[in-house]
A and B are shown apart, each in its own frame.
Chain A
Amino acid sequence: AQRVTQPEKLLSVFKGAPVELKCNYSYSGSPELFWYVQYSRQRLQLLLRHISRESIKGFTADLNKGETSFHLKKPFAQEEDSAMYYCALTTGSYIPTFGRGTSLIVHP
């Protein structure tokens, strides 16, 4: 069965510092990987997906199949980045798998 692991429950950084939210997965096939974000008092929403290879709000994530990782990175954190971040994996089935989430706090 597939699994998504986000090892950090909480990540605390200062504004302007680099940030990396870790995500590791286990799946024997070719997964689709996503990062979702939930800002305070807002809906959980898609941040980015690995197939798009895009940068959203300065965040990027690269799928590393060798290390089975999909870490989310941003070179300079902003206070408005403070949120809950979830890594998610989908396969050809209807059942997505979410990590437990990492709470990012960016201090001024």
Chain B
Amino acid sequence: SQTIHQWPATLVQPVGSPLSLECTVEGTSNPNLYWYRQAAGRGLQLLFYSVGIGQISSEVPQNLSASRPQDRQFILSSKKLLLSDSGFYLCAWSQLAGYEQYFGPGTRLTVT
């Protein structure tokens, strides 16, 4: 069966420090991969999605970037964190466009 992992589960970083959040999927090949930020009362904000290795689409221009170095690995990064980057980050995958998504456990990021 398919599983999706995210780490770390929680992270506290100072302003200006770099960020790297990792997401990996097991049990499937060539998944569509997504990064979201979830905020109370604001729902899920799609940040990036990827349909293949090295293919990244950005939905919201901001201080973050994403990379997909391997088929089932998706990384969310920042060179210099801002206070406004604090939030709950979710990784998700789907098999095909328009199909249901499967979510990871999330990473709680606090920028101090």
Contacts and interface: CB of A to CB of B under 8 A. Distances in A.
Interface residues of A, number: 23
Nearest to A42: B105
Contact of B103 (A34, A45, A99): A45
B104 to A, nearest CB: 7
Q: Which of B38, B43, B104 has the most CB of A within 10 A?
A: B43
Contacts, number: 52
Interface in A56-108: 86, 88, 90-96, 98-101
Interface residues on B, range: 20 to 34
A50 to B, nearest CB: 11
Contacts of A43: 103-106
What is the interface of chain A mostly: helix, strand, loop, or mixed?
loop
A17 interface: no
A98 B98 contact: no
Interface of A: 6, 9, 32, 34, 36, 43-46, 49, 86, 88, 90-96, 98-101
